[in-house]
Amino acid sequence: VKCAEQSYPDKLPQLSTCRSPQAMFGSLLKNYYTKQHDIAAKDLFVVSIMPCTAKKFEAQRPEFTTEDVRDVDAVLTTQELARMIRAAGIVFTELEEGSFDAPFGFGTGAGVIYGMSGGVATAVVREATYMLTGQRINDVPMQPVEALPGVNAAELQLGDRTVRLAVVSGLGNARNLIAAMDRGEVAYDIVEV
């Protein structure tokens, strides 16, 4: 969002109004989980572990704050977490097996993939396919776009409509994709960065 605000303000109306998985989960913890467990939101410290450094800036946005309490208090990149694990001398293969903490229970397959790269676009297409055709699809066959490094794309038929989606990794690659779209070289209905 910050990149679009600064470099592509004309694209802002095309952005999804949905929060990112990080922002959704932080809000869910601070506004629902705290009420269920009688905890004050200010007393719950939410740390998000994400691959993208832009998530650090996202967590500081005022719209991700409720009653002066940030939904996500801190963000660690996966590289930062890996360094912390190494510094602590933790070797995962030497740890005892543990059980998964599932405070909200188990969800759908779309929920599982939502936080992964390409997961939002895949979940949207899977749900749209079901809503429009009544059929379920398990896989969206993404293929690399040769002329655009860091971009994978798919084309699906939803009833009488062809839907084209692209998943791009990294802001530099996103800039290249936007430029190619602006030049009319490629066209996509859904783009996930």
Beta bridge partners of 47: 74
Residue range(s) defining the domain that contains residue 90 = 1-99
Q: What angle (nearest 5°) sits at the alpha carbon of residue 135, between those of residues 127 and 14? A: 30
Answer yes or no: is 155 within a domain. no
Answer yes or no: is 29 within a domain. yes
Answer yes or no: is 178 within a domain. no
Answer yes or no: is 174 within a domain. no
- Rounded to whole angstroms, the Cα distance separating 89 from 98 reads 19
Q: What are the residue ranges of helices labelled H in 47-88?
A: 54-59, 78-87
- Rounded to whole angstroms, the Cα distance separating 24 from 174 reads 23
Answer yes or no: is 56 within a domain. yes
Answer yes or no: is 2 within a domain. yes
Answer yes or no: is 186 within a domain. no
Instruction: Give the CATH number of the domain where residue 62 resides.
Output: 3.40.50.1780
Answer yes or no: is 38 within a domain. yes
**pLDDT tens across the length of the chain (193 residues):** 888 899 999 999 999 888 888 999 999 999 988 999 999 999 999 999 998 888 999 999 999 998 899 999 999 999 999 999 999 999 989 999 988 777 666 665 555 555 566 777 888 888 888 888 888 887 888 899 999 999 999 998 887 889 999 999 988 999 999 999 999 999 999 999 8
Provide the whole-model pTM: 0.72
Helix count and strand count (H, E) for the chain: 8, 8
Total domains in the fold of the chain: 1
What proportions of the chain, in percent to the nearest 5, are helix, strand and coil? 45, 15, 40
Would you say how long the chain is, in residues?
193
